[in-house]
Structure 1
Amino acid sequence: MKIKKGDMVKVIAGKDKDKEGKVIRVDRKNSRVVVEGVNMLTKHTKPSAQNQQGGIVNMEGSIDASNVMYLHNGKATRVGFDVKDGKKVRVAKSTGEVID
């Protein structure tokens, strides 16, 4: 997958289009990502040992990885792969710079 946990991304489709945020979690199997402050859901929780009060909790829902683009120097760019010194690295397509 071209998006990793901790990356800054921009949403390019859906109800939260043009929002930016940090990737919290990546689900490689289903090709989905959870982004901070994007696709907010309300979850009704019962009282438990961890949450004694219970009630309504706002949390982020997952979105498809194809609906986000990597942010490189504040601009959305596609991500490619290249082999440098025998290691596979991610590369920003717009500038050709190595991401990590």
Structure 2
Amino acid sequence: MIDRNNNGNNMLPFINTDIDSNSDVKLTEDQYEVYVNGNFVGRKTLKTQGEDLSDIDDFLRNQGFSDFTTSVDGDHYSIHVDHQDDDLSNALSVYFNNR
């Protein structure tokens, strides 16, 4: 029988910690649908902590594209160019298929 009045309490201490509140560790993968001028071109999954949606922008700039704007709305990443740019869409399709 456990003596609950004993100062040498036989119960293990309970430590309450909120591991996720101060942690920068990525617990799940984020996935975004990517659109160019409203047309779906692929999905970008952020698998590691270091990945970011701006990786898409960096890829496009490295491919020579510079005349575009981007925005995020929920899980949709929209890329807008002033004209329909099939080369940009094709480059992104290759990018998503190689990932």
TM-score when scaled to structure 2?
Answer: 0.22
Greater Rg, structure 1 or structure 2? 2
- Greater share of helix residues, 1 or 2? 2
Q: 1 or 2 for the larger relative contact order (CA 8 Å, sep ≥6)?
A: 2
TM-score when scaled to structure 1?
Answer: 0.22
